[in-house]
Amino acid sequence: TTRPRWLQSGATGDTHWDAYEAVSGSPIQMALQRKHSAGWDRGRHVLGELADELHAATSDQTLHDRLHIDQVWIGRDGMLKILDQRLSSQPDPGPDPDESTQFSRVGILQHLTAAYTDKQVLPGHARRFVEELNSRPEADGTLEWASGQLAGMQEGTLEISWRDRVGMLGVAMAVD
């Protein structure tokens, strides 16, 4: 599951509360800084989980329209977790003065796709996916499309084809 599991709720006087499983792991930005967590090999699985959950949350209307990047975590088990709220040592972190960490649902998928594919030579199917994702508007159907595309890539090749390597070499020689 990509959302923290609800455990129980209760009330104390006028205060109502809900208890969810504790999330262990780290925000995705921290995970991406570790070399073994970055790259298309790992990214395609995480991005697939993210697209699935964002699509489901859109259908169910169970997630805010805009998310902070620190609401997306990688658990110790390597699974993606989307938090309903930002975690903070303060009870209410308030509005984020830095809007660069806040994204629409499609925007957060685009941002994290760029983070996982930055400065890498990608297989053709991955390169086409990234290009198409970035050209798609914020519209209904984009998350469903991305979820389907990423599901089809889970078993795809991680290798660059011989033909693609020769093509890249030819382009590099032409530039020099």
- pLDDT attached to residue 99: 61
Tokens matching residue 83: 């938090």
pLDDT tens string, the chain, 176 residues long: the values are: 566 666 778 888 888 887 777 778 888 888 888 755 567 878 888 999 999 989 988 888 888 888 888 889 888 888 888 887 777 544 445 555 556 678 989 999 999 999 888 878 888 888 999 999 999 877 778 999 999 999 888 765 555 566 776 777 777 777 76
pTM: 0.73
Contact 18, 6 (CB under 8 A): yes
CB within 8 A of 147, min separation 6: which ones?
A: 48, 51, 52, 55
- pLDDT attached to residue 89: 44
3-class SS of residue 115: helix
3-class SS of residue 67: strand
What is the C-alpha separation between 50 and 41, in angstroms, rounded? 15
Q: Which residue has the tokens 């979820």?
A: 147
- pLDDT attached to residue 88: 58
H helical segments located in the chain: 28-33, 40-60, 105-117, 124-135, 142-153, 162-175
What is the C-alpha separation between 158 and 41, in angstroms, rounded? 7
| Amino acid symbol at 58 | T
| Amino acid symbol at 166 | V
- pLDDT attached to residue 111: 92
Tokens matching residue 73: 């975590």
Tokens matching residue 2: 């990509």
- pLDDT attached to residue 91: 46
